[in-house]
Structure 1
């Protein structure tokens, strides 16, 4: 980072790297999620898709991609695996053949109850009170918007 006011030290060259702290935190979350999701037969990205389908039950691939920040070339194979597992169906939108819609199966809907414990386990694993988590989320969402704006202006 050329404009970083804190030069890296040989002892810890990663110390000034905010992006590394976010990456490391993301990896830590994934490690906590993995054993919680394994009995459900889900990966973390699949869980994100299911979280969006449970309340809506039918969404386009494009809408799912917007909600979970994944491109369709990443999302399509993921959704195909959910379909092979019997959790969702995929079909062309009769009103717009270009759109693919994803719908929950009964088995996919039933999985919601089996996954109900996951958010509480994650909350507990953070060791943070709810108010602190909400403040951190606001900060991170603001940072994300700012960084996306900066990327778009380049």
Structure 2
């Protein structure tokens, strides 16, 4: 399974100029993968959000790699802990499927949408130990440059180790 090396250094763009922390409680509900702190590896994507006075922030996240779900990978390629959390989520939603090994984790998780809002689903995943989900957005969920690449969604505040303004590193030849 393709889980990134932890800790991760990612980026977050915000219209707010002086963030010192990011909290799940302030996350928007109408986001493609549900509420959480959205991060990216791509500075161009993060740069879509600061608007006039905002900033790009460098965010370090850390957690147990076993409790991460790669939404683009099949259920059978998830870690044991991630698979267990997904199965428990299905039981909470009273959803039973027998062919989960052939589906991507995202397809299985989305089967709970008739029982849970995205917010409730992400809260349940966090309660089951999942601190991060990640994957690419589907064509119907994207709105352009701001949604390209892998979206990392943090579901647990404790996973966010540091938030600081991003300072572009300038090569000596650029000075």
> Same fold by TM (over 0.5)?
no
Larger fraction in helix = 1
Which protein has the larger Cα radius of gyration, Structure 1 or Structure 2?
Answer: 1
Normalising by the residue count of structure 2, what TM-score does the alignment of the two structures yield?
A: 0.26
Q: Highest relative contact order (Cα 8 Å, sep 6+), 1 or 2?
A: 2
Normalising by the residue count of structure 1, what TM-score does the alignment of the two structures yield?
A: 0.28
